[in-house]
Structure 1
Amino acid sequence: MSAAEADVAVVGAGIVGIMTALALQDEGRSVVLIDRGGVAEGASFGNAGAFAFSDVLPLASPGIMRRAPRWLLDPLGPLTVRPAYAHRIAPWLFGFWRASGRAAFERSLKAQAAMMRLARAEMEKRIAAAGLGSMIRSDGCLEVYESERELEFSKANWERRAAEGIGFRHVDRGEIDALQPGLDLRFVRGTFVPEWQTVSDPHRFAVALAETVFARGGRLVKAEVRRIEAVNGGGARIVLADGSAIAARQAVLAAGAWSKALATGLGDRVPLDTERGYNTTLPPGSFDLRRQLVFGGHGFVVTPLETGLRVGGAVEFGGLELAPNFRRSEAMLAKAKRFMPALRTEGGRQWMGFRPSMPDSLPVIGRSHAGATIVYAFGHGHLGLTQSAATGRLVADLLAGRAPAIDARPFDPRRFREGN
């Protein structure tokens, strides 16, 4: 068995791993990225492309369990569990129920808001340093409602966002038409978030950042990681599927939805599961889309990209092994056609990706039970792109042994073992 050497080994070359590598390089560390698929080939490839800094509200929230059964009755709706996976998702759903209690929700909201403030600041710095400002759209985001009642139901959550300094305004049909012409008349009210941003294409954005990593001396190893081992006296050993190994002074586990088994091997049983997200990317010119649209009542968004128009979202629990059910993509596309009558739906490319999600809606960022030289950075759910730069900053702080930029205790993997 051969062994190569590295300063810091980052397992996972998605957007979180890339941002972590950049943060470590800022401090003079040398980094090797390890990924079985290459750069940004997982959830970073086909996500909705939003910097969702205003999404401070945890998905696990008071009252959500009363609404979930209605969603689950529709196998193609915003939330579904594949029957073959129902028994495996039960523990995660129990944790989600616990996290939706009022006190737990308030703790998660406070942590998420702090994380988003750091995320915005760190992302702005990273974009400027990499010279990627031309890839950022600052058109805002429009969420639309089919009734006054739907808007009223949402207002409590918007007030919570306002308390965290997030700007928005509720709009009537006339302003909806000004912000986005061509929507079906069923949408009578909306909420506009003017500071919302999107990237021109999330995969190209991640690849551009990875090129910066490589230009600064980082390297990529395309290989499947079989396990991570803590080394007595410090350091880590990354064992690959071909039997070879990489010895590193420190290691970061940022393998997204594939992180659970590797963390379990290190003695940390984190309740990570996978939300399978679906989308269809239509060719450029399919609709005159001015900004990202959110159809919250139906669980999907429509995003303008330089590569086309992306219709996607929703949540399906089905793990990593079941075949995709692209009828979900087709259902969202059919709805989008009803909501945007001039939309041309021909020539689309379907995609399914795995969102690594925790029951309390917070990522796992902290040291492994196996040793301080191994740090976790996974479980961001829908917010991997948004929180990637902040995660890189926190990981760099932890590996340097200094106080993190924000209170990192809410993200510690031990929060589950301690029953918090």
Structure 2
Amino acid sequence: MVDSTQRRRLFSRASAALHGISLRAVVQSRPRGPNVTRTSGCDALVVGAGVVGIATALQLQLAGLEVLLLDQNPPASGTSSGNAGAIAISEVLPLADAKTLRKIPGWLFDPMGPLAVRWRHLPTLAPWLSRYLLASRAGSVSKLTQQLAYLLGRTLSDLQPLVVRSGLDGMWRRQGALMVYATQKELRADLEGWKLRGKHGVNWQLCNPEQVYSLEPALSAQWRNAVSITDFSHVEDPYLFTLGLFQQFIAEGGRFEQHPVAALRQQGGKVTGVMLRDGQTIDSSRVIVASGVWSDHFSKPISQNLPLESERGYHLTLPHAQSPLKRYVMNHSESFVVLPMGNGALRLAGTVELASRYAAPDYRRARMLLSKAESMLGTLNTEGMTEWMGNRPSVPETVPVIGPSAKVDQLYFATGHGHLGLTLSATTGAMLRDHIVGKQPIPEEYRPSRY
């Protein structure tokens, strides 16, 4: 665990690094006239400095490539700054399945339920929802489960070297997690799913109320119906953790520039770099698009279909909660999680809102999490409480898009991770690294060409 002194030191280093980098980026982004080209001198250019882009850039840099990371915003300032911190290796089952479909009508008519749809956006969401329905067929669910299990099965081995090299081990909590249920009946109804997870390598254990009490005595009696997931883990501050990976990327010789990227550049069917919004162009022999839900800004002009929508998530952070929890707790009945952070803070995260990525946040969906958490833990200290919303980049099948474009040579995509961005960030980078250096091609089922 990172204590308060270490936390301040890490944040100070991150702030200093970002301040210096931002100043350099400002100098480098001064207008130079239209269509001015400057050679980047890099082997790979990564567009998007969220956790997936940063981990990918770091994996490529460690493999000996010279990497330039671009983003219009500071590193880790988007969805990666406020996620739920999970290394969720148990999530091998896709979100689209028959059981979830049966619950959706009830959720939609509950204004504060775990799923909300802003109906005025339904016409634009319709193609995504149609694909979601197709993905929920039994045959599709079986294939998607295998694909997710492969990715999640290698998560820890891909992540561990980056964590150690970046000095972030103290921020990575590996005490496991509990999935709690309101009733024994609900727990028994979900055991089929846990047995299926077990067949795909997930270690889990059914707990009786006494065992739950010994693990987490702060949980109220109603919430002592649970499954323990021993290999589940989380990071105690996703923002600082992602900044730590970014700092290591810079320490390894990587470069970051803060620029808005307007478009890809290509010649003869091969990517040649990018054009910035101010008219400058940057040359690179490879481009990796890891821009979250905005990755389709680069796929649409080349007719590369990526069915990306924003699966908007909310959180509350209670910095003075003095969390009594030792481990990550997922509430199956209410579809939210409680994340114990550093210095006794708590983060309450969850709910899904399908809406335009540009729509204003509805922070009622964050605030409703407080009463749900207090039913589990009793009254919580809300002093200094903050609200947040982020755009999770989601594809209907849950399986992220990782690999080379079928339309443009030396162009790669890394997006569509949904709830699994932090979890699969190192694995995404490792798969792209191995493909690019010729060590191991990325299987077809993960590539953009599947659409």
Asked whether the two chains share a fold, i.e. TM above 0.5, the reply is: yes
Deviation at 1:231? 2.5
* 2: CA distance, partners of 1:84 / 1:33: 36
Matching residue within 138, 144, 148 for 1:108:
144
Aligned: 1:358 with 2:395: yes
1:318 aligns with 2:352: no
Larger displacement relative to structure 2 (336-345 or 368-377): 336-345
- Other-structure match for 1:367: 404
Deviation at 1:106, TM superposition (A): 0.6
Aligned position for 1:193: 229
Q: How far apart, CA to CA, are the structure 1 residues paired with 2:269 and 2:390?
A: 38
The reply to whether residue 410 of structure 1 matches residue 445 of structure 2 is yes
- Aligned partner of 2:198 in structure 1 is 162
Aligned to 1:226: 262
State the secondary structure of the residue aligned to 2:286. strand
Other-structure match for 1:305:
341
Q: Quote the Cα distance in structure 2 between the aligned partners of 1:343 and 1:137.
A: 22
- The aligned amino acid for 1:134 is G
- Tell me the number of residue pairs that the alignment of Structure 1 and Structure 2 aligns: 414
How far did 1:235 drift?
3.7
Secondary structure of the 2:404 match is strand
The answer for the alignment partner of 1:296 in structure 2 is 332
Cα distance, 1:139 vs. partner? 1.3
- Structure 1 partner of 2:294: 258
Amino acid at match of 2:389: M
Alignment of 1:2 with 2:45, yes or no, is no
**Helix, strand or coil for the counterpart of 2:39?**
strand
Pick which of 208-217 and 228-237 moved more.
228-237
The one-character-per-residue Cα deviations of 1:363-405 (angstroms, maximum 9, x if unpaired) are 011211332210001110000000011100111122224423x
Amino acid at match of 2:364: R
- Structure 1: where are the runs of 5+ without partners? none
Q: In the alignment, is the contact (CA less than 8 A) between 2:153 and 2:201 conserved in 1?
A: no
2:371 partner amino acid = A
Are positions 1:278 and 2:307 aligned together? no
State the SS of the aligned residue for 2:75: coil
Q: Distance in 2 between matches of 1:334 and 1:224?
A: 40
Q: 1:92-147: per-residue Cα shift (whole Å, max 9, x none)? A: 11100000101111111001101112222101122122232111111110111111
* 1:214 counterpart = 2:250: yes
Q: CA deviation at 1:61?
A: 1.4
CA distance in 2, matches of 1:236, 1:370: 14
Partner of 2:97: 61
Range with bigger deviation, 395-404 or 154-163: 395-404
Structure 1 segment 359-398 matched on structure 2, within 5 A: 359-398=396-435
In structure 2, C-alpha distance between the alignment counterparts of 1:30 and 1:336, rounded to whole Å: 46
2:120, 2:183 → 1: CA distance? 36
Distance in structure 2 (CA, Å) of the matches to 1:414 and 1:86:
26
Secondary structure of the structure 2 residue equivalent to 1:261: helix
Shift of 1:188: 4.1
| Contact 1:267 1:369 (C-alpha < 8 Å) held by counterparts | no
Q: Deviations over 1:187-210 (max 9, x none)?
A: 241011122111121111111111
With over 3 angstroms needed to count, the CA separation of the structure-2 counterparts of 1:154 and 1:195, relative to structure 1, is: same
SS for the counterpart of 2:329 is strand
In the alignment, the residues of structure 2 paired with residue 124 and residue 288 of structure 1 have an alpha-carbon distance, to the nearest angstrom, of 27
**Cα offset for 1:23?**
1.2
> 2:80, 2:242 within 8 Å by CA — same for their partners in 1?
yes
Paired letter, 1:365 = I
Which of the residues 29, 54, 57 maps onto 1:18?
A: 54
Contact 2:175 2:230 in 1 (8 A): yes
Q: TM-score, normalised by structure 2?
A: 0.89
Is contact 1:266-1:368 (8 Å) kept? Answer: no
2:269·2:408 contact (CA, 8 Å) conserved in 1? no
In structure 1, C-alpha distance between the alignment counterparts of 2:73 and 2:83, rounded to whole Å: 17
In the alignment, structure 1 residue 341 sits paired with structure 2 residue 375: no
* CA gap 1:284/1:345 in 2 versus in 1, 3 angstroms: closer
Instruction: Report SS of the residue matched to 2:366.
Output: helix
After TM superposition, give the deviation of residue 333 of structure 1 in Å: 1.3
Q: In the alignment, residue 292 of structure 2 is paired with which amino acid?
A: G
Aligned to 1:91: 127
| C-alpha distance in 2 between matches for 1:299 and 1:233 | 45
2: CA distance, partners of 1:391 / 1:274: 20
Q: Distance in 2 between matches of 1:145 and 1:166?
A: 19
Output the CA distance in 1 between the equivalents of 2:406 and 2:266: 10
Separation (CA, whole Å) in 1 of partners of 2:289 and 2:358: 21
Give 1:286 deviation, angstroms: 3.6
Q: What is the distance in 2 between the residues matched to 1:4 and 1:38?
A: 22
Structure 1 residue 80, shift from structure 2 partner: 0.8
1:28 partnered with 2:64? yes
- 1:284 deviates by 3.6
* Corresponding residue for residue 11 of structure 2: none
| In 2, Cα distance between equivalents of 1:363 and 1:176 | 34
Which deviations, in whole Å up to 9, do the C-alpha atoms of 1:45-71 show, x marking residues without a partner?
001111111111111113322221111
CA contact (8 A) 1:137 1:197 kept: yes
In structure 2, C-alpha distance between the alignment counterparts of 1:136 and 1:233, rounded to whole Å: 43
In structure 2, list runs of 5 or more residues that go unmatched.
Answer: 1-34
1:132 matched residue in structure 2:
168
